[in-house]
A and B are shown apart, each in its own frame.
Chain A
C-alpha cells in the first residue's frame, strides 16, 4: 500500500476535525500498512468504537478517493499498538501456556514450565530503604520474611497510608529472596492486575492456566489489596489461591491502605485469613527520617543537599515520602534548568508555589473542620465554652495541630477557638505532646489527622 495514502487521510482528517478530536481519537492510532488493507490499531475498545462510529466513513471515503486503479484498500480496525503489532500482548497469567501438552503434570513440573514474570523493580532494595522509627517494625518483619520465606510470618500484611514505602518494602523482600535463591519464582503485582488478568482469563477460556500460574509461585506479592473491595469473583479466586499457597508453605505478602478488618467490601473469611501471620503498620516518617530520605534521594540523582536545605524541605512536607520526592524532583529540575547551586534561598524560590498551596490549604478553620469530622463533633463544639471530655480532647488536638501546621500565634489560635487565652493553647500543646507519648490510640489519631491535613 502506498504510504502517502494514510498521510492523505491524516491531512484530510486534520482539516475536517477539531484539533481536540484529532488529538484525542486519531493521533493515538497506530497504522499498519498492508498490501490491500490499512490496519488501524486503537489502544482500547472504547477508542476503537468511537473511531469506527464517527470517523471510519471519512477514512474510507479518502481511501477511495486516492485509489489509483489498484482497488480501494480495505480498512481494518483492531485493538493493539506498535508494541503489539506483531504479537498480541497478554500477561503471562492469562496466556495459554505450553502446559496443555501434558495431561497430568506434577506440581513441580508444572511450575518449571511456566514462565513467571516477577515484575520486581531492582532499585527497590533494603539498602535503598531509609529506616526510621516510623517503619522500624515493618522493616524488621520484611527482613525476617526475606530471610525465611514461607516461615512464621506468613502471610505478611503491611498497612499504612499512601506513599510511606509499603511497595518498596515488598519489592525489597522479593529482591532479597531472588538474590539468595536465583531460581525462586516470585510474582509481584497490583491487586488490580490480578482482577484484570482473571477477567481476561475468563474471556479467553484460560482460567485453569490463570490458576496454575498463581498457584505455582514461591512467593506472591500483592499490592493495594483494598482494590479487591466489592470484586466478589476476584476475591473468591484469590481466596483459593491464598489457601493453596499457604498449604504449600509459600510466602504471601500483601499491602493495604488500612488494617485488614477495616477494609469495606472484603469477605470476612479473607479478612480473617489476612491476619493469620504478621500484620505490621507503617507510619508517616518523622522529621529525621524525612531528612535522611531527602539526602539519600538527592545523591541518587547526582546532587548533594545541605542539611539546612534538607531540613527546610522536610519540615514543610510531612505527609508522605512521595510528596517529599516530588518536592525534591522540583528543586533538582529547577537547578538543572537554571544551572544554579541548590542553596536555601534557591530551594525556597523553587518550592514557593508548592508551599503557598500548602499554606492555603492548612488554615485553622480547616483544622477545626477536619478534627470535628474525625471525632464526630460539631465545629461549634470546639469553639464553645463546653469542657466535657468528649469535646475538650478534640479541641486540644485541634489547637496543637494549629500550632504545628500554621504560622498563627498562640493568641490568634486561642481567639479562633472561642476567644480562649493563649495559655490555654500552650497548655493544650503540652498536653498533646504528653498524651502522644503514653497513649497509642491518641497518637494514632494525631498522626491520622496530621496526614489528612497535610496531603
Chain B
C-alpha cells in the first residue's frame, strides 16, 4: 500500500520547536522562538531560504507556541492566495502573533502587495509580533511595490540554510521516531543516498513508509524500504 499524501496534510501535524533540527540556523531559530514566546527582540522578522529549509515548520511552531501561552496567532498561507482575499489581512494587528508564509506567491499582485504594505504599517504601529517567510531576500522576491520591499528589509532579515547530511539524517530519524517508527541509521542513509536530500520529499517518503510498515506489519529494513519506494 502506498498512499501519497499531499504536503501539509498530516505531515506537519506536530511542527514544534522541539522537533526542529536547527543545523546552521541556530540564530534564526532562536530569534523566531523568542518572538513566539514574546521574549523581546525585533518585533518583525523576515525569514528566507529555499524550499524545504523549514520556514513553514518554524512559522507553524511559532503559532503553536503563542497559542500555548494563551495568545491568538494567525498563520497566513499566501501560497493559497488564490482562494483567499487581501481582506483577510484586516484587523490582524489585533492579534498577538502574525505569521505570513510564502510571500513570493503574491509578488506582482497589486491588491495583495498593497494590503501587505498597509498591514505591515499597522503591525509596526501596534507593536504586533510578525514573522514573514519567503523564498528569496526582500529585493529578490519580484515585488512591484518598493514600499513593501523596503519595509521587509527594515526588520530583522535572516537566512535559513539547508541542512547538511548529518542534519538531514537527524531530522529524518527524529520525524520517524515521533511517529513511533524506528528508522535505523542505515535506512535513513539509504534514503538520503538513493532518493532525495530534499526535506519535504523525504518526509513524503517517510509518510509512505509509515503507512506501508503499518499495513505490512514490518519493521523498516533496507529490503523492505526498497520494496516500498523502489
Known: A28-B74, A224-B147. Contact between A19 and B13, CB under 8 A?
yes
User: Are the C-beta atoms of B140 and A257 separated by less than 8 Å?
Assistant: no
User: Are the C-beta atoms of B150 and A322 separated by less than 8 Å?
Assistant: yes
Known: A20-B75, A43-B91, A361-B140. Contact between A329 and B156, CB under 8 A?
yes
Known: A18-B9, A18-B10, A83-B94. Contact between A43 and B157, CB under 8 A?
no
| Distance, CA A26 to CA B136, complexed state (A) | 29
Our pick among B12, B90, B150, B155 for the contact of A43 (Cβ within 8 Å) is: B90
- Please, how many residues of chain A have a CB less than 8 angstroms from a CB on the other chain? 50
Contacts of A81 in B (CB 8 A): 72, 91, 94-95
Our pick among B72, B99, B157 for the contact of A354 (Cβ within 8 Å) is: B157
Interface of chain A residues 157 through 178 with chain B (CB within 8 A): 161-163
Q: Does A52 contact B (CB under 8 A)?
A: no
Contacts of A28 in B (CB 8 A): 72-74, 92, 95
Contacts of A286 in B (CB 8 A): none
User: Are the C-beta atoms of B77 and A163 separated by less than 8 Å?
Assistant: no
**Which of A23, A24, A30, A44 counts the most chain B CB atoms within 10 A?**
A23
| Distance, CA A430 to CA B101, complexed state (A) | 47
Q: Does B85 contact A (CB under 8 A)?
A: yes
| Distance, CA A330 to CA B63, complexed state (A) | 23
Our pick among A46, A82, A322, A353 for the contact of B72 (Cβ within 8 Å) is: A82
Known: A28-B74, A81-B95. Contact between A46 and B88, CB under 8 A?
yes
Q: Does A129 contact B (CB under 8 A)?
A: no
| Distance, CA A217 to CA B227, complexed state (A) | 77
**Which of B26, B72, B89 counts the most chain A CB atoms within 10 A?**
B72
User: Are the C-beta atoms of A322 and B90 separated by less than 8 Å?
Assistant: no
Q: Does B214 contact A (CB under 8 A)?
A: no
User: Are the C-beta atoms of B137 and A24 separated by less than 8 Å?
Assistant: no
User: Are the C-beta atoms of B147 and A257 separated by less than 8 Å?
Assistant: yes
Q: Does A289 contact B (CB under 8 A)?
A: no
| Distance, CA A357 to CA B12, complexed state (A) | 30
Q: Does A377 contact B (CB under 8 A)?
A: no
User: Are the C-beta atoms of B146 and A19 separated by less than 8 Å?
Assistant: no
What is the minimal beta-carbon distance from B220 to any residue of chain A, in angstroms? Answer: 24
Contacts of A82 in B (CB 8 A): 72, 94
User: Are the C-beta atoms of B27 and A337 separated by less than 8 Å?
Assistant: yes
User: Are the C-beta atoms of A455 and B95 separated by less than 8 Å?
Assistant: no
Residues in A lying within 8 Å of B, measured CB to CB: 18-20, 23-24, 27-30, 43-47, 50, 79-84, 89, 119, 161-163, 190, 192, 224, 227, 257, 319-320, 322-323, 325-326, 329-330, 333-334, 337-338, 353-354, 357-358, 360-361, 455
Closest 7 CB pairs of A and B: A81-B94, A23-B75, A28-B74, A43-B91, A44-B90, A353-B159, A46-B88
Residues in B lying within 8 Å of A, measured CB to CB: 8-10, 12-13, 15, 26-27, 30-31, 41-42, 60, 63-64, 66-67, 72-77, 84-85, 87-92, 94-95, 99, 114, 118, 121, 125, 136-137, 139-140, 146-147, 149-151, 153-159
